[in-house]
Every structure is written in C-alpha cells, then in structure tokens.
Amino acid sequence: MLFWSEEEFKQFYAVIDDDLFRVYFSFLYLTGCRKGESLALTWNDIDFVRREVHINKSLNRKQKTKGEKQVVNVPTVASDLGWHISESRSYEITTPKNKSSYRNILMPMNLVNMLWEHQKRSKEEYGYTLEWFVFGGAEPLSDQTIRRRLNEYADKAGVKRIRVHDIRHSHASLLINKGQNILIVSQRLGHSDVTQTLNTYSHLMPNVQKQIINALDFEM
C-alpha cells in the first residue's frame, strides 16, 4: 500500500496548473471517496448548505471484447432516480459497492470553497445543468487522463507516484495519524464494517497504541 503524507500532498497540490484537476485531486484526498464514486457525482449530489456530498452511485468502465460494441447497462435504480445515460457511452452508472457505501460525507470548508468556485466556472459552460458530472461536465473525466495527470504532477512535485486508489489510502492515513476515531474513519470511507478498516489500516496506527499506553500508565 502506498500513500502520501500531508506534506507530500501539499507538494503535489502546489504544482497543479489546472483548476479542474486541482479540485478533483483535492476532493479525493479530503473525502476518501473511491474513484468510481467521485466520477459518478453530479451537481445534484453536492449540498453546499450542509457541506455534504451524497454518495449514492458509482461509475464503472465497460470493458469491450473483440467485435463487441460498447454499451451502457443502466440499472433500474438509475432510471428511477432520473439518470439519463446514453447507450453509446463506454461506462455504466451503478449502485455503490455495498450498503455502507451509501453515505453523506461532510466536507471541510477549504474543499467546499473549491467546489463552489468550480461550479461557478461550470455554469459558464454551454449546456450546464445540475445533472452534469462534477468532474468532467457533460461527460466524466477519463481514467487515462486522470492517471496521466496524476503521474505528471507527482513527477513535477518530486513525490513518489501512487495509484488513484492510493489517494483514498492517503486520506485514511491522514485521519488515523491525526488520532481520529477509527469508527468514524470507517463510516467516512464507506467500509462494510470497522473490522475491514482495522484489517486494512492497523499498521498505520502506532500513535494510537502510544495513546493507549499513556492512558494506562497512571500512578498506582
């Protein structure tokens, strides 16, 4: 598992020269969302009053086999919610990974302000609606473009290359090393239960162990 420390992310952030990717990578780092969850977001899912992002769907890429036309399979739940997906697109909008993945994530004000400015820029684009993808517009960002920009900015910043999914690990590492409650971290990540979180990130918790020892080391 690879992840960026807070300082490494700041170095990475400092070299981003594109508003869209500045917001996108900050969103991943500050919310811990899965890539598919982030790319499926529309402006209807952002609540600026409550400072929340509503996770209720995910975007998956369709893998085309030889001689097969790429199509989109839209689940019934998507139709019920009014998601209008063209059958010519190379992705599908599905339900989230598991029941716990349906969640509302509270956002820090630095991210809220970035998204607010990002929406203002989006509104200037022809055809803007609240059903537009937050990260992309009429169409979501492509996986290839995201990976290319991630590597490009990492190299420019002089930090190690990590996968897009590792930004989610970086979010968890940031919270754990700041002493945040593991149950809250688990809920924020949308894990099925706290055991999954502990199994994945227990090696990142030496500071928590020290806190426990300090709590037990009282005069007798």
How far from 182 is each of 25, 98, 196, 202, CA to CA, in Å? 23, 19, 11, 10
Closest residue by Cα to residue 53 from 75, 80, 23, 74: 23
Structural domains counted in the chain: 2
In a domain, 17, yes or no: yes
Question: Burial level of 18, CB count in 10 A (0-12/13-18/19+)?
Answer: exposed
Q: Is residue 91 part of a domain?
A: yes
> Which of 67, 95, 123 is a domain's end point?
95
Decide: 172 and 28 in contact? Cβ < 8 Å: no
**Structural domain contains residue 73:** yes
Q: Could you tell me if 88 and 41 lie in one domain?
A: no
* CB-based contact 49:190 (threshold 8 Å): no
- Pairing of the two strands 103-106 and 46-47: unpaired
- The predicted-structure confidence for 45-98, as pLDDT tens digits, reads as follows 999 999 999 999 999 987 655 554 444 443 434 434 444 343 446 889 999 888
Mean pLDDT, residues 196-218 taken together: 68
- Which pLDDT value is given to residue 23? 98
CATH number at residue 179: 1.10.443.10
In sequence order, the β-bridge partners of residue 91 are: 61
Is residue 42 over pLDDT 90?
yes
Is 1 domain-assigned? no
Q: What is the DSSP letter of 35?
A: H
Nearest to 162 by CA among 176, 171, 150: 150
User: What predicted TM-score, i.e. pTM, was given to this entire model?
Assistant: 0.82
